């Protein structure tokens, strides 16, 4: 059989700690192991985007752009990859094209090679600006299908969107299963269909949440998928990805052998094992994240969404209604045009289901996000929303048929103006655009750090105070 090594993308620096440790890995914790990781034979290291940007600023008091530049300096052979939520970038609502364009360009200019771009509704109009900007700056655009289950999501649906993604000019097709719903034989069938449909490489991403992910990769690779995302063993399994070493060993001496250096992987694992132990001890990593959550498959709801529901019900003092909410979620999802359940649509559908149950009347109380979703402000849903529900929530307000960002005038000049007071580098305006309040707090912190003057005890004793 002809050799066709599967490419391995290591997620330790992005999805793995986002899934297991609330995205709290700091740059300082990453850098000591970069040199070894760079030699291990990874195709790419996913290390930026997703929730890392927000968490770095908000909790770690770190500039994400500085992290990116340091990683780029360290990784001399390995490609750097990031995750981007299409027109939402790393935030939760749509941005104007000028912001999306500038963000992608600066990401590539600062060291990102591959940008994986997704949209929560699989509305490819929301992916185009980011894709074009990535490519214009010399980056590779991996445009991803967000995987979900439901009546509308037939093999023909996936093939159709995949074809349109290829026609749009994507360098690679991603299959992003953030909820861990892709079971082995479904993966085999889907990957085979996608490979028959497009000529660009197909990358599969899944989570271990439901306990099937390693088998899913096995079948996906046999069916022809070109690359898979794995996490080094101490940061693998549970809500994270299959373990890198296990997958590499599985394919060793087969046509799919990714050619990773197991010796080095062992040393890399030793390093992350210490981090994992610390996280376990501090409670940052909960053993609950590591088990198999079969409910994910049962209810077709992402694991993270389930834990959010528990919190919402607890706050309302109605924890005993969990089961009712679980049953309400698919109904709300149907009413809303059957969107995939990923950020931000998962929060919108989940919250609405909670409201429907605890108020005792469906859609008596609604959120502004439910209204915006039904008005088309996130893009087009795969099916038309239920007309009665839509009328009840949006009233006579007009709905958007065009690409939502077409209605947003350029935003960069205003963002520039608002953050001018704090600006120290070009990228600061993008940091500000993503999370204005958090960015401002970080800029203030940064300024305080810079103006703080270290003086020695001797100076004080000698009465020398800097002015
Ligand atoms: Co993921």
The 10s digit of each residue's pLDDT in 102-150 is 999 999 999 999 999 999 999 999 999 999 999 999 999 999 999 999 9
Residue 205 CA to ligand 1 center (angstroms) comes to 7
Mean pLDDT, rounded, for 336-357: 92
The answer to whether residue 194 scores a pLDDT higher than 80 is yes
Residue 111 CA to ligand 1 center (angstroms) comes to 21
Mean pLDDT, rounded, for 416-436: 97
Between CA 228 and CA 73 the distance in angstroms is 25
What residues form DSSP beta bridges with 203? 174, 227
- Percentage above 70 pLDDT, the chain: 96
Residue 14 CA to ligand 1 center (angstroms) comes to 9
Residue 280 CA to ligand 1 center (angstroms) comes to 21
What residues form DSSP beta bridges with 367? none
The answer to whether residue 290 scores a pLDDT higher than 80 is yes
Residue 16 CA to ligand 1 center (angstroms) comes to 8
Between CA 5 and CA 69 the distance in angstroms is 30
Residue 81 CA to ligand 1 center (angstroms) comes to 13
Residue 15 per-residue DSSP state: I
Residue 127: per-residue pLDDT: 98
Residue 249 CA to ligand 1 center (angstroms) comes to 22
Mean pLDDT, rounded, for 81-90: 96
Residue 153 CA to ligand 1 center (angstroms) comes to 20
Please give the backbone phi and psi of residue 107, each rounded to the nearest 5 degrees, phi first: -60, -50
Residue 73 CA to ligand 1 center (angstroms) comes to 25
Mean pLDDT, rounded, for 314-320: 89
Return mean pLDDT, the chain: 93
Between CA 263 and CA 252 the distance in angstroms is 14
Neighbours of 199 (CB within 10 A): 7
DSSP, residue by residue, 390-427: HHHHHTT-----S-GGGGS---HHHHHHHHGGG-SSTT
Neighbours of 76 (CB within 10 A): 10
Residue 177 CA to ligand 1 center (angstroms) comes to 7
Residue 391 CA to ligand 1 center (angstroms) comes to 35
Whats the size of the chain, residue-wise? 467
Residue 206 CA to ligand 1 center (angstroms) comes to 6
Mean pLDDT, rounded, for 305-321: 84
The answer to whether residue 403 scores a pLDDT higher than 80 is yes
Residue 231 CA to ligand 1 center (angstroms) comes to 11
Residue 286 CA to ligand 1 center (angstroms) comes to 18
The answer to whether residue 74 scores a pLDDT higher than 70 is yes
Residue 457: per-residue pLDDT: 63
Looking only at the bridges linking them, the beta strands covering 227-230 and 7-10 are: parallel
> 36: helix, coil or strand?
helix
Between CA 461 and CA 455 the distance in angstroms is 11
Between CA 181 and CA 214 the distance in angstroms is 13
- Reported as a pLDDT band with limits 50, 70 and 90, residue 297 is confident
Residue 362 CA to ligand 1 center (angstroms) comes to 32
Q: How far is CA 330 from the centre of its chain?
A: 23
């Amino acid at each position: 059989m002809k050799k066709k090594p599967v490419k391995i993308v290591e997620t330790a620096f992005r999805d793995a700690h986002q899934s297991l440790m609330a995205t709290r890995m700091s740059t300082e914790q990453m850098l000591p192991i970069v040199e070894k990781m760079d030699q291990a034979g990874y195709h790419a290291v996913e290390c930026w985007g997703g929730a890392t940007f927000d968490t770095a600023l908000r909790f770690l008091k770190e500039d994400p752009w500085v992290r990116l530049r340091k990683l780029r300096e360290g990784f001399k052979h390995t490609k750097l990859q990031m995750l981007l939520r299409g027109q939402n970038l790393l935030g939760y609502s749509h941005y104007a094209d000028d912001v999306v364009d500038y963000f992608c360009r600066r990401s590539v200019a600062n060291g990102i090679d591959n940008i994986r771009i997704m949209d929560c509704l699989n509305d490819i109009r929301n992916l185009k600006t980011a894709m074009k900007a990535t490519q214009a700056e010399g980056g590779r655009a991996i445009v991803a299908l967000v995987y979900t289950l439901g009546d509308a999501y037939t093999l023909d649906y996936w093939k159709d969107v995949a074809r349109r993604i290829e026609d749009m000019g994507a360098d690679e097709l991603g299959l992003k299963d953030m909820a861990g719903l892709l079971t082995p034989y479904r993966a085999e069938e889907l990957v085979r269909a996608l490979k028959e449909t497009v000529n660009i490489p197909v990358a599969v991403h899944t989570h271990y949440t439901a306990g099937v992910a390693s088998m899913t990769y096995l079948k996906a690779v046999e069916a022809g998928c070109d690359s898979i995302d794995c996490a080094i063993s101490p940061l693998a399994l549970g809500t994270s990805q299959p373990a890198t070493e296990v997958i590499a060993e599985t394919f060793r001496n087969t046509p799919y052998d990714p050619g990773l250096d197991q010796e080095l992987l062992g040393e890399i694992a030793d390093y992350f094992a210490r981090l994992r132990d610390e996280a376990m001890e501090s409670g940052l990593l909960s053993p609950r994240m590591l088990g198999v959550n079969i409910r994910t498959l049962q209810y077709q709801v992402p694991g993270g969404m389930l834990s959010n529901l528990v919190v919402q019900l607890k706050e309302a003092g109605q924890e005993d209604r969990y089961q009712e909410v679980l049953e309400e979620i698919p109904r709300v999802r149907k009413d809303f045009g059957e969107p995939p359940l990923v950020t931000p649509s998962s929060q919108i559908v989940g919250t609405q289901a909670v409201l429907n149950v605890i108020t005792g009347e469906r859609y008596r109380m609604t959120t502004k996000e439910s209204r915006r979703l039904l008005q088309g402000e996130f893009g087009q849903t795969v099916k038309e929303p239920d007309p009665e529900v839509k009328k009840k929530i949006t009233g006579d307000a007009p709905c958007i048929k065009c690409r939502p960002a077409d209605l947003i005038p350029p935003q960069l000049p205003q963002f520039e103006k608002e953050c001018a007071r704090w600006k120290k580098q070009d990228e600061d305006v993008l940091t500000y655009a993503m999370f204005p309040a958090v960015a401002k707090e970080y800029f203030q912190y940064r300024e305080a750090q810079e103006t703080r003057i270290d003086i020695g005890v001797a100076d004080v004793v000698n009465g020398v105070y800097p002015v």
